[in-house]
A and B are shown apart, each in its own frame.
Chain A
Amino acid sequence: MSIGKGIRDGRHGGGEGGGLPEAGARGPASPIEFRLDPASGVPTYLQLVQQVEHALRLGYLKPGDQLPKVRDVVASLAINPNTVLKAYRELETKGLTAGRPGQGTFIEATLSQVALPELAGLRRSLLGWLATADVAGLDEDGIVALFTSVLRDFHERSGGLRGAAGGDTEGVA
C-alpha cells in the first residue's frame, strides 16, 4: 500500500532478480530485471520491449513467467509509468504477453527457437570458433565484420534463415 514499500521491493528484489533460486522464494518475482542505457539513443519504452524479446530468445523468460510489475519498474528505474505501460502494450500487441487483471503481465509466447541446453552447445562451438579466429590474428572488429558478412551470404543463399536453420545449425552444434 505505501509507496515506500514499493520502492524497497523494487530496489532490493531488483538487484538480485535474474532467475536465481532465491528470487522464487521471495514470492512471485519476475525472472528478469530491466536496465536502461541512456546513451543508446533507443527510446526507453523500446529498450524495455527489446530486453523482454532478448530474454525470450535466450530462454530467460518462458510462457507463464511474470514480467516485473509496473510500479516496481517505475520505482527502481525512476521512469514514467506511462512508458512501462506503453512497452507492455506493445508486447501484448506482438502477442508475446497477456495482462491478467489484478495480477500483472505474463509471457504468452516464446521467441527462442532452440532449448537452453542446445543453446549452450551452440555457444560452446561459437567460442571454439572465436578462439581459432583469435589465433589466426583477427581482432574484434574483424570477427564482427566476417561474421556479419558470412551471415548475409548464408541468408542470401538459403533464402531466409528460418527455412534452413534446422539442418545447418544442428550441424554446427
Chain B
Amino acid sequence: MNIIEAAGLGKRYGSTWALRECTLAIPDGHVAALVGPNGAGKTTLLNLAVGLTAPTAGVVAVLGGTRPGSPDALDGIAFVAQDAPVYANLSVADMLHLTRNLNRHFDQGYAKARLGELGIPLTRKAGKLSGGQQAQLALTLALGRRPRLLLLDEPMASLDPLARHDFMATVMTAMADDGVSVVLSSHVLTELERVADYLVLLSGGSVQVAGEVDDLLASHRVLTGPAAEAGRYAERLGVVHARRGGAQAHLLVRTNGSTDPVPPGWESHPVSLEELTLAYLREPGAASLPGPARAERTEVSR
C-alpha cells in the first residue's frame, strides 16, 4: 500500500508554482524523509496530503487511495505543523480536552501516561513549556489520535540535540509499537540520515530523487581517477555530478545496479546519503526516480 501517492500533482500560488508535476508513491511502513532546500515545496506537499489545501493540478491520495480531507483520511492521519504549534494560553490539560473533543478518536489514557513519563505537568500553560516540551506535547496529541500516518513538518528545527533525540525516539517507538508510517520534512539531511529509509528529494517544486535509501546508496558510487580521462567516462557512466581538480576528478555516478564498471586506474567508493543528496541538488537537471516513484497505480477515490 502507498501511504502517499501523487500523479501530476501541482499547486500554484498566484503566478508561482510551489509544486509542479509531482509524481511519487511513498510505500507504507517507512520513515520517509522529504528533503530539499527552502522553498522546494515540502510544506506544500504535506499540506496537500493532509487536505489543508487543494491541488491546482493532478491528484493526490493517502492511506492507499483515500482522498485527503475525507473523514477516513482525517481519522488516519496526524499532522504536526512547523514549529509544533500549541495554544500558548491553554493549560496542557485544556489542550488534551480540546484535542479529545475535536477528534472522533482520541486515546486519552495514552496521552496522559506519556505526558506523565515526560514530566510535563498538566496544569502548566502550554506557552510556559520549554521548546522541547512543546514539541513533545504536540507530538503526544498527534500520537494520541492513534494515526496510521504521522506527518511532521520540520519537526526538530528549533530543538536542542537532547530534545531532538527524545522527540525522534518517541516517533520511532510509536512506529515499532503501532506500525505508524512516518513522513517528515527537513532541510537538514543529517538529522534524518539515521532514521529515514525512504528519501524524497524535492527541488524547485519537483521531485528529483525518490526511492528506498538502501537502493539509492547501492546504485550510486563515487569514482576517483585522473581528470584527463573524466570526460571520456562521463558520457558512458551516467554521471550525476563531477568535481574536477587539475589532475584528479571525482565522479558521482549511477551504476544502475549492474556490476561496477570501474575503469582501469580508477577507484570506486561507496557514497553517503548526504553526498548523494548534495550531488543531486547541485545538478538540478539530474533525476533518479526508480521503482515506486514511477508506479502506475493511481486509484484515487474522489
- Given known contacts A76-B169, A78-B165, A3 and B174 CB-to-CB distance under 8 angstroms: yes
Q: Does B175 contact A (CB under 8 A)?
A: yes
Q: Does B168 contact A (CB under 8 A)?
A: yes
* Structural contact, A78 and B172, CB atoms closer than 8 A: yes
Q: Does B173 contact A (CB under 8 A)?
A: yes
Q: Which of A59-77 contact B (CB under 8 A)?
A: 70-71, 74-77
* Structural contact, B176 and A71, CB atoms closer than 8 A: yes
Q: Does A161 contact B (CB under 8 A)?
A: no
* Structural contact, B177 and A6, CB atoms closer than 8 A: yes
Q: Does A102 contact B (CB under 8 A)?
A: no
* Structural contact, B170 and A74, CB atoms closer than 8 A: no
Interface size counted on chain A using CB atoms at 8 A = 25
> Which of the candidate stretches B2-10, B194-202, B221-229, B260-268 sits at the interface with the other chain?
B194-202
**Residue among A8, A44, A80, A81 with the most chain B CB within 10 A?**
A80
The one of B117, B197, B217 in contact with A80, judged by C-beta atoms closer than 8 angstroms, is B197
Question: Which B residues lie within 8 Å of A130 (CB)?
Answer: none
* Structural contact, B194 and A2, CB atoms closer than 8 A: no
CA distance A65 to B113 in the complex (A): 32
**Residue among B169, B170, B173 with the most chain A CB within 10 A?**
B173
The one of A4, A8, A36, A79 in contact with B172, judged by C-beta atoms closer than 8 angstroms, is A79
Q: Does A41 contact B (CB under 8 A)?
A: yes
* Structural contact, B197 and A71, CB atoms closer than 8 A: no
The one of A2, A5, A36, A74 in contact with B169, judged by C-beta atoms closer than 8 angstroms, is A74
Q: Does A82 contact B (CB under 8 A)?
A: yes
Q: Does B20 contact A (CB under 8 A)?
A: no
Question: Which A residues lie within 8 Å of B276 (CB)?
Answer: none
Q: Which of B159-216 contact A (CB under 8 A)?
A: 165-166, 168-170, 172-177, 194-197
* Structural contact, B117 and A5, CB atoms closer than 8 A: yes
* Structural contact, B30 and A3, CB atoms closer than 8 A: no
- Given known contacts A3-B170, A4-B114, A74-B169, A81 and B175 CB-to-CB distance under 8 angstroms: yes
The one of A7, A43, A44, A83 in contact with B173, judged by C-beta atoms closer than 8 angstroms, is A7
Question: Which A residues lie within 8 Å of B170 (CB)?
Answer: 3, 7
CA distance A2 to B107 in the complex (A): 11
* Structural contact, B113 and A4, CB atoms closer than 8 A: yes
The one of A10, A44, A78, A82 in contact with B30, judged by C-beta atoms closer than 8 angstroms, is A82
- Interface residues of chain B, those whose CB is within 8 Å of chain A, are 29-31, 110, 113-114, 116-118, 143, 165-166, 168-170, 172-177, 194-197, 217, 272
Q: Can you spell out 12 A-B residue pairs with CB atoms less than 8 angstroms apart? A: A2-B117, A3-B114, A3-B173, A4-B114, A7-B117, A7-B169, A36-B194, A75-B172, A75-B176, A79-B194, A79-B195, A80-B172
